[in-house]
Amino acid sequence: MTGFTSVGDLSRFVLLRQSNAQLKTRLSVLSQEMTTGLKADVPAATGGNLGRLAQVQGRLATLESFNRNASLAQSETSALQAALEGIAGLANRGPELQAAAAMEDEAALDMRAAQATQDFRTAVRLINTEAGGRFALSGTEVGTAPLAPAEDILALARTQVAGMTDPVAISDALDAWFSSNAAGGFLDQAFRGNTEPTSTGVSPDTTIQRALNASASEFRTLLKGLAMAALAGEPAAALPHGAKSVLIRAAGRELSEASLGIVRARATLGMQQESIDQALARNAAEGSALSIARSDILAVDPYQTASELTQTEANLQNLYALTARMTKLSLTDYIR
């Protein structure tokens, strides 16, 4: 770079540098406004009155929070509905158990008992369903699986009927244990969640409350029926054909009873899913209206902004040409 020959040259150079900085700043602002479609200087855009804009943006933030809740609730209810569908399929096997009990075929009874053992494990797995790391049937204890492992529950049920051979006594003992909320009963020994209902706000005017949990009677009845059939066929029980048949028939009745409750639970959950979908639709409509309102406050005129951007670029190029002639700058030196 050549040196300056006078104080006047230095003054002009300082002015050129200041103009360069101002034009670059303006160019950056205009580029941002062209990209976002929104004015960069918010106070100027609102005339210093930020109240309306703050209200709109606050409402948009609130809706975003509701949408996150609704998306989580949508995921949980979808996972739970799928689990209930599987559980309903298990409960629908009640008539099959009753039909097997009416036969004089020992092998058929043993086969149904073995199937019931597998179904019990499946039922516990489905009741312990989770979505996004949250267990759907644990009440508010969403970080804990609602039921103990299937083998542990079967072992507890087995303890209740140890040494019994009378099918009525076995049925009564299992009924008492699965129905009990007291110490030593199913709720105390096998249920690990709580019975508090969950509550989720999914829109400004909609809150989804779900009281269903793994301690519900339909789940207990299902597990009781499956355990009854499973234990009836265990070799260690050594039950005679007649007793085994009575128990498996009773187990079929329990499953059929559970099926009705599961149908009701699925219907209730379906209505909640519909409410969530409707809430998301309302949130989207309100969000669109608010975004338009925010745009009305902050939106730039694209034609005017494009014209200013073109003019600013031209001014910057002219300034470069002038500065280059005065100082013999290269373009690389100039933009540093």
Radius of gyration of the chain (CA): 36
Q: What is the pLDDT of residues 234-261, one digit of tens each?
A: 888 889 999 999 999 999 999 999 999 9
pLDDT greater than 70 at residue 137: yes
**Two structure tokens written together for 87:** 């559980």
**Two structure tokens written together for 16:** 């050129």
**Using 50, 70 and 90 to split pLDDT, how confident is the model at 182?**
very high
Collapsing DSSP states into helix, strand and coil, what is residue 282? helix
Q: How many whole angstroms separate alpha carbon 98 and alpha carbon 250? A: 8
pLDDT greater than 90 at residue 61: yes
**Using 50, 70 and 90 to split pLDDT, how confident is the model at 37?**
low
Strand pairing report for 198-203 and 134-135: unpaired
Q: What is the pLDDT of residues 287-305, one digit of tens each?
A: 999 988 877 776 655 666 5
Average pLDDT over residues 109-137: 96
Please give the helix or strand (H or E) that residue 130 lies within, else none: strand 130-131
Residue type, 56: V
For 270-292, give one letter per residue: b (16+ CB within 10 A) or e: eebbebbeebbebbeebbeebee
**Two structure tokens written together for 66:** 């509701």
Predicted TM-score (pTM) of the model is 0.78
Domains observed in the chain: 72-289 (1.20.1330.10)
Average pLDDT over residues 76-85: 98
pLDDT of amino acid 53: 78
pLDDT of amino acid 318: 72
What phi-psi label fits residue 238: left (phi over 0), alpha (psi between -120 and 50 degrees) or beta? Answer: left
